[in-house]
Amino acid sequence: MEWNEHDLAAYLAAHPEFFERHAELLTSIQLASPHGNRAVSLQERQMEMLRDKMRTLEHRLAAMMRNAVDNEALAGKLLLWARDVMLAQHGDPAQLPQALQQALKTGFDLPMTALKIWPVRDEFSALDFATAVSDDARTFAASLAAPFVGPNPGFEATRWLPDAHMAQSIALVPLQNPHTSMCMGLLVLASPDSQRFTADMGTDFLVHIGQLASAALLGLLAR
């Protein structure tokens, strides 16, 4: 019966006591080290593999801790922004969309924002947040099941921004009427930094911003 290396590996895995009976092999077998042009024993090679695994786990743990710190900071900013929006609701309703955007700029260090909502009450219909929205833009906003993040592809909504040509990356956050689940607007966040909003970033906090903004702006909608 001929054994190939797979048969041998399966035998050793099923019979770990083999190395107890032949302990001398652990030191006598010489293997190439991945960390230099030298030979190491089987025991040393195993230790190197364990150290490599430990380093990988340490890197993963460090990344998780960084993410936890970043998420905690974002949660704090979201809470402060929600507070500012709630305070703004006690003022002039016509100023609420602008106050909401200004709080976003200040709290999240966002250089550019735009906001449109529909359909609004007659007394707000001529204001900036209710005008210059095409049917195509409304259809597009309604098609978003989640916020869009990534490079600026030149969507119509980006033309609502001041200095739109400066926007290198964007986040488009659909607003949804909490009572009807119908799309009621679109929030645009933008940055001249191409890495501020990337296609692989998480959107959980943007979803929360959209939900809070939708609830705050509900009173401006037509009944």
Span 73-100, pLDDT tens digits: 888 899 999 999 999 999 999 999 999 9
Specify the long-range contacts of residues 48-56, CB closer than 8 Å, at least 24 apart.
none
> 89-220, superfamily in CATH?
GAF domain (3.30.450.40)
Report d(CA 91, CA 104) in Å as an integer.
Answer: 17
Model pLDDT, residue 117:
98
Per-residue pLDDT averaged across 29-43, rounded?
A: 62
Each domain of the chain, given as residue ranges in start order, spans: 8-54, 89-220
Per-residue model confidence as pLDDT tens digits over 133-183: 999 999 999 999 999 999 999 999 999 999 999 999 999 999 999 999 999
Per-residue model confidence as pLDDT tens digits over 105-126: 999 999 999 999 999 999 999 9
Average pLDDT, the chain: 88
Helix-, strand-, coil-residue percentages of the chain, each rounded to 5: 55, 15, 30
Nearest to 98 by CA among 222, 181, 213, 175: 213
Model pLDDT, residue 30:
62
Model pLDDT, residue 29:
64
Helix (H, G, I), strand (E, B) or coil at 32: strand
